[in-house]
Amino acid sequence: MITTKDFGINESYQISDALWEHTKPFLPAPKSKKKPGRPRMNDRQAMTAIFYILRTGCQWKALPRSLGASSTVHDRFQEWCEARVFTELWRAGLMEYDKKVGIDWEWPPRPSGVAASPKHRWVRRPLAPIPLTGPRKAPSAVY
């Protein structure tokens, strides 16, 4: 089993054991391979690499090699996106937060482009016209 100290990056960027235990049930079963090849990358290592990308904002190609090959991690990210892993993790996090703190589900935030009318109904605001500008009065710096 891979522990949090095996990835060669700062511990603050690694997934805690508690978070990993919450995450594991949302991961799909590995797809069967059509042909022999390299063994599948460890799911925890792949998730740590994906979270590292999300937290640091680095490019896929700038991923530290100790977290795995960037193409492999990106493939796993796409596989998990198709399986809606991150959507379900988000939903589970919201439900857990709702149980602990509470979320006011009755009053949704106002969408952009919508304003409250005096009677407290939501109405769509007309878009402001873009003011037209005339010819420039100052001479151009380029001749």
What pLDDT score does 131 carry?
65
How much is the CA Rg of the chain, to the nearest whole Å? Answer: 24
Chain position carrying tokens 């439900």: 95
Question: pTM, whole model, 2 decimals?
Answer: 0.66
As a whole number of angstroms, the distance between CA 78 and CA 137 comes to 53
What pLDDT score does 80 carry?
94
What pLDDT score does 23 carry?
93
As a whole number of angstroms, the distance between CA 123 and CA 116 comes to 6
Collapsed DSSP state (helix, strand, coil) of residue 18? helix
Low-confidence ranges of the chain (pLDDT < 70): 1-6, 107-143
